[in-house]
Every structure is written in C-alpha cells, then in structure tokens.
Amino acid sequence: MEEVTLQKMREHIGWESGDGILAPGGSISNLYAAMVARYNRFPEVKMRGMRAVPELAMFTSKDAHYSVKKSAAILGMGMDSVYLVDTDNRGKMLPEHLEQLIGLARSRGQEPFFVSATGGTTVLGAFDRWTRSRTCASGTGSGSTWTRPGRGGVLLSQRHRHLLAGVQRADSVTWNPHKLMGVTLQCSVILLPERHIGLLQGCNGMQADYLFQQDKQYDVSYDTGDKSIQCGRRNDIFKLWLSWRAKGDEGYGEQVDYLIDLANYLCQQLKKRPGYEMVMEKPDFVNVCFWYVPEKFRSMKPGPERDSVINELVKRDFPCGRWPQSEGADDGEWHHNGGLPTPRQPAELLPHDRVSNPAATEADIDFLLDCIEKYSAEIFDDQPDEAGLGGGGGPAQ
Amino acid sequence: MEEVTLQKMREHIGWESGDGILAPGGSISNLYAAMVARYNRFPEVKMRGMRAVPELAMFTSKDAHYSVKKSAAILGMGMDSVYLVDTDNRGKMLPEHLEQLIGLARSRGQEPFFVSATGGTTVLGAFDRWTRSRTCASGTGSGSTWTRPGRGGVLLSQRHRHLLAGVQRADSVTWNPHKLMGVTLQCSVILLPERHIGLLQGCNGMQADYLFQQDKQYDVSYDTGDKSIQCGRRNDIFKLWLSWRAKGDEGYGEQVDYLIDLANYLCQQLKKRPGYEMVMEKPDFVNVCFWYVPEKFRSMKPGPERDSVINELVKRDFPCGRWPQSEGADDGEWHHNGGLPTPRQPAELLPHDRVSNPAATEADIDFLLDCIEKYSAEIFDDQPDEAGLGGGGGPAQ
C-alpha cells in the first residue's frame, strides 16, 4: 500500500520510479532531506560524523519553515550553517541572492551541499522560482540541490500544478498530504528520484538483523523499516491511500482548485469591503494576507506611522495578548461563539488567513469578515481618542 | 492532558516535577535523549555544530537497541563514536567494561557525554545494573549519565519495579507505553527531572513566532510545540491518558504482573516438556529465550557441533527463509492457521518469545508450544537421515 501510494506521488512529480518513506510530519521529512543530501555528498559522515567532512552550508528562503534551521541544529551542523536567502515582494527566494550567498559560503571555506526551495511558505504561501534558483545555484558549482514543496497536493491540480514547475529536477521532495489534501496528522512523505534509490537505506540502514530478518515469506523489499530513522511506525499511509481511492486524482484536483477559488473569493471580498489592505494584490495560492484598518484610523495616511499608532493601542490594551472582555462574556468569547477561525495576531491586526478546509464555503468567508468588522468596531469604538482621530467613547479599561 | 500524564509518569520514576514531551516512537525518544545530553554539556552545538565541540563519545550495552547508534549517525557524531559495552550472561552491561571504555575514549581525546543504560533489551529483556554502571561511569569523571528504560511500564508493578531501581538518578528517561502498557503505536515519551527543566526548550526552541505566538488566551506554558523536533504533532497522549484513566495504577500494575507471570508459566512449561533448552534459566522479565531441539537430534551432545548440524539442515531446506509447503497448504500456512505468534528465525530454531499481549492466556502458551512440536516433527520426520541420527522418512525435496 505504501509502495503503490508513494509511486503514485512520484509519478505526479514526474519521476518514473524512485524511493521514499513516510515520516512523522513535515519537519522530520525536511530532516530526512537534509540528512540524505549530506550522506549523498559525504557518506563517511554516517560512521565518522561531522568531524570527517568539510564545514557545510545550507540555503533556504528567509520565509521558509523553521524546520530547515532545526534540521541543521539536530544534524550537528549548527544553525549558523544555514544561509537565509532574501525574498522578493511576493515572498519568493531571490535567485541572485542565493547565488551570492553560495559564493559567500565558499569564500569562507564552507561546502554548499543543500538548497531547500520552498513550495508554499507558511505565511505568504510563496512558491520559490525553482528553475531559476537551481540555475543560479548550479552556476556557482553548488553540489546537491534539493527542494521541499510542503504542499505537493498542488501537483494534483491541472490548473495550478505550474506552481511547482521543474520539481522533477529536484533531488528530493517532501510532500505533506496533511495540508492541501486534508489527510489527518500525521501524514508526511519524503520522496527521492530513481537516481537516488538506495540512498535512504544507505544513510539510515543499521542492519539490525535481530529485528529486520531477511528470511521472510514475502519479498523483503517491502520491509522499509531499516530506511527509517524510526523503528516501529504508525501505518500513516493507510488513510492517504484510502482517501485517494475515494477521491481519485480528479477529486483531489477539484479540491485543490476549490480551495484556491475560495481564496480568490476572499480576495475579491477584501477588495469590495472598506478597510482592508492586502499584502499582495493577487496571491498565488491559498494564503491570503491582509490587514484590517478600523474606521477611525482610515483617515490616516497608510504607512509605518499609522501602523505604529494602531500597534501601540493594541499592545496597550491587550498587554497579555488577551482579547477584551465584552459584558457577560468570558475571555474566550471570540473563539467560543465560532467567531474567528484565523490566527490571532493583534499586534499586526490579523495579517493572514489560509484557506485549507475543503468544507468551508463562501458564507464562511463572509462570516469571517463580518466578525472582524463587528469586533473591531466594538474594540475601537470604546477607545478614548488619544490619537486625535475622532470617534471612540468610554474609558479604555 | 499531556502535562498531567507526563507528571504522573515522572512521579512513578521518583521525580517531583520536571519536563518531557511525546515523541513518534522510542528511536526518536532516544534521539532526544542524546540530543539534550549533548546540548546540556555543549549548548554552543546548536548554533555552531559539532565542529565547535570536542570529539564526543557515547556508551551503551552491545545488546541495546540499534537506535542509540542511529542517533549518533543522525546527530553528526558518527556511529564510530558509540562504544558498545560487553554484557554478562544475563545480557546486562558490565560496569567494569563501561569504566574501561570510558577510559579508552578519554585516552583518545574524546569527551564521554552520554551513557544509555537499557531497561529491557530487545532479545533478552535485560535491565542494566544502573546503579553500579553509574558509579563506575562517575569514577572516570564521565559528565552526563543518562538512561533509557524502554519498558517504563515495569515501574507500575510493585512486585517488579525493583528492575529499574535507581532510575530516579538518571538525567533522562525514555518510556514507551506502546510496549508493556499496551497503548497502540505511536506513544513514546522522553522525560527529564526537575534540574533539567528548560533543556528541551533550549535545545530545540526556534522561537518561530509566526507559528508559536505568545499572545494566547491561555497559559502559554501549555504550548509545547517549540520543545519538539516536530512541528504539528499527533495527539498521542490522549490514548495513554484514557487507558490510564480506565485501568488506573493498580490495573496497570496487575497487567505487568500478569505478563511476567505468564512468561514464568512459559518457562515452567519449557522445563516440563522435552526438547527445550533455555538461554537463561530464569529470565527477569517477559522475554523468554529458548531453543527447541527436535527429537532426532536429542541424542547428540548439546553444543556447537549439534547446533551446526541443525542449522545446516534448516538452511538447506529453507534457503530463502521459506517455511516448507505441507500438502494442500500455501507457504503461509503456519501463519494463516493461527500457528506461530513468534518471530521466525529458522536458522536458530525459534530462539525467543516475548509475552506482551495481556489478552494472552496459559492456553495460548500451550498452543504455541504444541505448534512448535507438531511442525518440527513434520519437518524433521521428512528429512533423510544424513546426519546419521536415526528417524526421518521421505526425500527432502
């Protein structure tokens, strides 16, 4: 079941065959990616450790998931070995800066061995320009280059799979079906192309023959335990296999399209309704980042000065990060009444929302925005007019 | 729920308070143990990697789980940095040899930083003599000393918790409730005593504030994500919490006692029935290791010569590790008819069995032994009498 499903995923990437294994989450998948990259370049590291190899350098977008840095800490390379590449105004890694950092690492005597190009960053949902980054990295003679599309489900959408164009040229791909594909935690995969078959086994195999006997009644290639950094594992593939059987490629493609359509609906609403400012005019993906500016501040010129006034008021009144108490309501009212299905970041006034629940509808989006406007009015109508902006009423406390 | 359950586990160890986190399996728990030990001794490793610290050395029993070596490979120390301590005839680490190996590592300029003392080895079920090992390690000036009782459930048995005597002196304890406590995979815990509170956070914390916001409506000490090497995690604590609520300390204690009693029943039967030879006369725990010698070989003197005759016959007739085909039965008959609930190791004729299913009864033990005898007779009665031992019938093929 695992073999069939992983093969299907590899085919969607564009690989005829290859290798792979399930991991307990995307962070551990990224750990695998860095670890097999290191082993591929310097197999002696397995027996002799980091002291036997040159000083290494890793590269990823500054907007990438923190697990890339965490991997460096775990693997004994140290977080200092991770170079964070600047991003453009759409959150995509700047290939020129990547090239520059690779050169910098080399000039310090470090060995660049791993580039993690993100597919769907956490906040902006950015997909790094893989092909250009790869070309720039190759230009510097960087050895291995690897990618990490956290949201591999986008490959199942004919309309949107271009976001991961060129992904088949990667040396490894991590894919988290617990995200876009809606499989429950944990369900994360690390995949390798045909040329890297055997790498997982070489890197992680311990030949613990008291556990992994080779004298089975079946084809022992189905025994994948020795390729894992775990011993016993949950059967995480089953739920993915089952939902894929139920939905099919087409059903999953439609699900991805629907989520992106819903994110587009959110964008349209944000443009229609007063007070919203978008971080990016047209997001690529399901992440929609925006600010809501309460009515009384809208007369101020947009910019750092206005933002700092809003932030100061928010910080002053919610010093412990608590939302205000309405009469008769407990602290959690905003959540308990089904209010805000969005990460609460009061210091920056709700800057991002991610559409990832395929059961959500346009009505849910409307409800979300209604809530933002209603509670914002309740909060700021009660503010004394310290900023001299008009509006406001009773005492702050 | 996690906090309550981990605290309960710590109290059973003998710690008033402390820290801990759930991990996806015992191997990853052991990885945590080695990683926090390294960080405790050399916090600079997090930022600057293994190049910033002295060459390190780890120590564990040669019968310990392979994950200790795997941890060394992952963490960039290299498997060569793991010293395997000899064991006595009951599978327990020899404290004198540990002391000697620590001295050897020092003489090579390595820094001993981690001793993993096993609680229940995979094959023999041995519990290392913790207190003596610790004393020997201290004598050499070894820095941190840590333990790994895979089968922490034994602490819940008043009759048997002495097997882990002194465990409260460890610097970390990994406990796998998916073993003796019968919780389904995955459910594994790493626990730290009070003096190491903050170590997990320090070692693994990334302060990824775009994910782990501190402005929550609840006590943020309940946000344990940043202490983990994962990001999103399964709620593995729930099933443990629930079964502990259902069974209680007393129920779990009785379960452990029952399993050990059942293992003792197996030992009694092995002594009563002809043809069985025990590896250890009286096992400490639920692992019972034994050989079964088919009738036709019993006239031979026990020893390497007899064992080699048996092994040769087994290898010749089961070259691919397949069990023989009985008439009308497929390869898997032995398993399919509910036959042998035991690891199949034909080359050494069923040397070990572990009693870990609390639903098993004495009748199941009897059935297991009946099967061994029945199938063994079927196999060896058909052998030509090449060894000149009498018995046997038709052609081998």
For residue B107, the number of C-alpha atoms closer than 13 Å in the C-beta half-sphere is: 6
Answer yes or no: is pLDDT of A43 > 70. Answer: yes
Q: Do B215 and A318 touch (CB under 8 A)?
A: yes
Q: What number is the average pLDDT over the span A318-332?
A: 38
pLDDT(A321) > 70: no
Bridge partners (DSSP) of residue B192 are B19
Highest mean pLDDT among A291-305, B206-220, B261-275, B346-360 belongs to B261-275
Alpha carbons within 13 angstroms on the beta-carbon side of residue B30 total 31
Average pLDDT, chain B: 80
| Residue B288: inside a domain | no
Cα A112 to Cα A277: distance, rounded to the nearest angstrom = 40
Q: Which residue of B has its CA nearest to A49?
A: B78
Predicted pLDDT of residue A393: 37
User: Is the Cβ pair B80, A49 closer than 8 Å?
Assistant: yes
State whether A25 and B232 contact (CB < 8 Å): yes
Specify whether the CB–CB gap between B276 and B291 falls below 8 A.
yes
Confidence (pLDDT) at B226: 84
B16 and B99 fall within a common domain? yes
Whether A229 sits inside 8 A of B318 (CB atoms) is no
Handedness of CA A301, A305, A311, A316 (dihedral sign): negative
Question: Percent of chain A beyond pLDDT 90?
Answer: 44
Do A350 and A290 form a contact (C-beta atoms < 8 A)? yes
Distance from CA of B332 to the nearest CA of A (A): 7
- A303 and A210 in one domain? no
Which residues does chain B have within 8 Å of residue A67's beta carbon, measured at their own beta carbons? Answer: 231
CA angle B95, B150, B31 (to 5 degrees): 90
Asked whether the predicted pLDDT for residue A323 surpasses 50, the reply is: no
Q: What is the 3-state secondary structure (H, E, C) of chain A?
A: CHHHHHHHHHHHHCCCCEEEEEECCHHHHHHHHHHHHHHHHCCCHHHHCHHHCCCEEEEEECCCCCHHHHHHHHCCCCHHHEEEECECCCCCECHHHHHHHHHHHHHCCCEEEEEEEEECCCCCCCECCHHHHHHHHHHCCCCCCEEECCCHHHHHCCCCHHHHCCHHHCCCEEECCCCCCCCCCCCEEEEEEHHHCCHHHHHHCCCCCCCCCCCCCCCHHHCCHHHCCCCCCCCCHHHHHHHHHHHHHHHHHHHHHHHHHHHHHHHHHHHHCCCEEECCCCCCCCEEEEEECCHHHCCCCCCHHHHHHHHHHHHHHCCCCCCCCCCCCCCCHHHHCCCCCCCCCHHHCCCEEECCCCCCCHHHHHHHHHHHHHHHHHHHHCCCCCCCCCCCCCCCC
A45 in Cβ contact with B76 (< 8 Å):
yes
Most confident of B148-162, B165-179, B208-222: B165-179
Long-range contacts of residues A162-166, Cβ cutoff 8 Å, at least 24 apart:
A163/A119, A163/A120, A163/A127, A163/A284, A163/A285, A164/A119, A164/A127, A164/A130, A165/A130, A165/A131, A166/A130, A166/A131, A166/A134
Which of A21, A29, A30, A50 is best to mutate for the B interface (most B CBs within 10 A)? A50
Indicate whether B329 pLDDT > 50: no
CB contact under 8 A, B74 and A79: no
**pLDDT in the model for residue B146:** 56
- Residues B8-35: pLDDT tens digits? 999 999 999 999 999 999 899 999 999 9
For chain B, list the strands marked E by DSSP: 18-23, 56-61, 82-85, 111-118, 146-148, 173-175, 188-193, 276-278, 287-292, 352-354
At B138 the three-state DSSP class reads: helix
Residue A28 vs residue A212, higher pLDDT: A28
Q: How confident is the model at residue A148 (pLDDT cuts 50, 70, 90)?
A: low
ipTM for the predicted complex: 0.83
Helix (H, G, I), strand (E, B) or coil at B30: helix
Predicted confidence band at A342 (pLDDT cuts at 50, 70, 90)? very low
**Is residue B385 predicted with pLDDT exceeding 60?**
no
C-alpha pair distances (Å), B315 with each of A157, B282, B289 = 52, 30, 21
Whether residues A51 and B52 touch (CB distance < 8 A) is answered with no
Give the residue with greater pLDDT, B137 vs A363. A363
Evaluate if residue B65 carries a pLDDT over 90: no
Whether B372 is covered by a domain: the verdict is: yes
Residue A263 forms part of a structural domain: no
Residues 6+ apart with CB under 8 A from B130: B117, B147, B164, B165, B166, B167, B169, B170
For residue A321, list chain B residues with Cβ-Cβ distance below 8 A. Answer: 213-217
Answer whether residue B315 shows pLDDT above 70: no
Q: Based on the domain organization, do A51 and A129 belong to the same domain?
A: yes
Band of pLDDT at residue A315, cut at 50, 70 and 90: low
pLDDT tens column, A44-100: 999 999 999 999 999 999 988 888 999 999 999 999 999 999 999 888 999 999 999
Cβ–Cβ gap B215/A344 under 8 Å: yes
Examine the pLDDT at A352 and tell me if it is beyond 90: no
**Torsion angles phi and psi, residue B117, rounded to 5:** -100, 120
For chain B, the maximum distance between any two Cα atoms, rounded to a whole number of angstroms, is 81
| pLDDT value for B200 | 93
- At residue B307, the pLDDT reads 74
Q: How far apart are CA A372 and CA A349, in angstroms?
A: 10
CB A137 within 8 A of CB A145: yes
Residue with the bigger pLDDT between B351 and A335: it is B351
Domain housing A197: 2-247
Average pLDDT, chain A: 80
State yes or no: pLDDT of A332 exceeds 50.
no
pLDDT of residue A366: 92
Mean pLDDT of A369-390: 67
Reply yes or no on whether the pLDDT at B176 is more than 80.
yes
Whether residue B165 is found in the same domain as residue B302: no
Considering the domain architecture, whether residues B166 and B227 belong to the same structural domain is answered as: yes
- Report the pLDDT value the prediction gives residue A330, as an integer from 0 to 100: 37
- Is the same domain home to B81 and B204? yes
A70 plus A210 within the same structural domain: yes
Q: Which residues of A touch B73 (CB under 8 A)?
A: 45-47, 203-204
A239 confidence band (pLDDT: 50, 70, 90): very high
**Of the given ranges (A58-67, A70-79, A177-186, A368-377), which has the lowest mean pLDDT?**
A368-377
Q: Which of A174-183, A365-374, B290-299 has the lowest mean pLDDT?
A: B290-299
> How many other C-beta atoms can be found within 10 angstroms of the C-beta atom of residue A34?
27
**Which pLDDT value is given to residue A31?**
93
CA distance B91 to B121: 8
A240-281 per-position pLDDT tens digit: 999 999 999 999 999 999 999 999 999 999 999 998 888 788
- Answer yes or no: is pLDDT of B279 > 90: no
d(CA A245, CA A298): 51
Residue B191 pairs with which residues in a beta bridge?
Answer: B20, B173
Residue B243 in any domain: the answer is yes
* Residue corresponding to tokens 């005492």: A395
B366 located within any domain: yes
- Report whether the peptide linkage leading into residue B186 is cis, meaning its omega lies within 30 degrees of zero: yes
Same domain, A121 and A209: yes
Among the residue ranges B33-37, B163-167, B191-195, B247-251, the one predicted with the least confidence is B163-167
Tell me what pLDDT residue A395 has.
38
- A47 neighbourhood in chain B, CB within 8 Å: 73, 78-80
Tokens linked to B306 = 């007899």
Contacts with A214 from chain B: Cβ below 8 Å: 321
- The answer to whether residue B340 scores a pLDDT higher than 50 is no
Q: A234, A317, A337, A345: best mutation site toward chain B, by most B Cβ within 10 Å? A: A234
Q: Is the domain of B119 the same as that of B181? A: yes
pLDDT for the residue numbered B335: 36
Q: Is the pLDDT of residue B347 over 50?
A: no
DSSP code per residue over B89-115 = TTS-B-HHHHHHHHHHHHHTT-EEEEE
Is A233 found in the same domain as A336?
A: no
User: Which CATH number covers residue B197?
Assistant: 3.40.640.10
pLDDT above 50 (res B344) = no
**Are both B86 and B182 inside the same structural domain?**
yes
- In terms of pLDDT, which residue wins out, A354 or A368? A368
pLDDT per residue over B82-112, tens digit each? Answer: 999 999 988 899 999 999 999 999 999 999 9
Q: Give the pLDDT score at A48.
A: 96
Mean pLDDT of A218-242: 86
What distance in Å separates residue B56's CA from the closest CA in chain A? 10
Does the residue A393 lie in any domain? no
| Domains in chain A, number | 2
3-state secondary structure of B268: helix
Q: Do A230 and A347 reside in the same domain of the chain?
A: no
Say if B180 falls within a structural domain. yes
Name the residue among B47, B65, B213 with its Cβ closest to that of A79: B47
How big is chain B, counted in residues?
A: 397
Q: Is residue B225 part of a domain?
A: yes
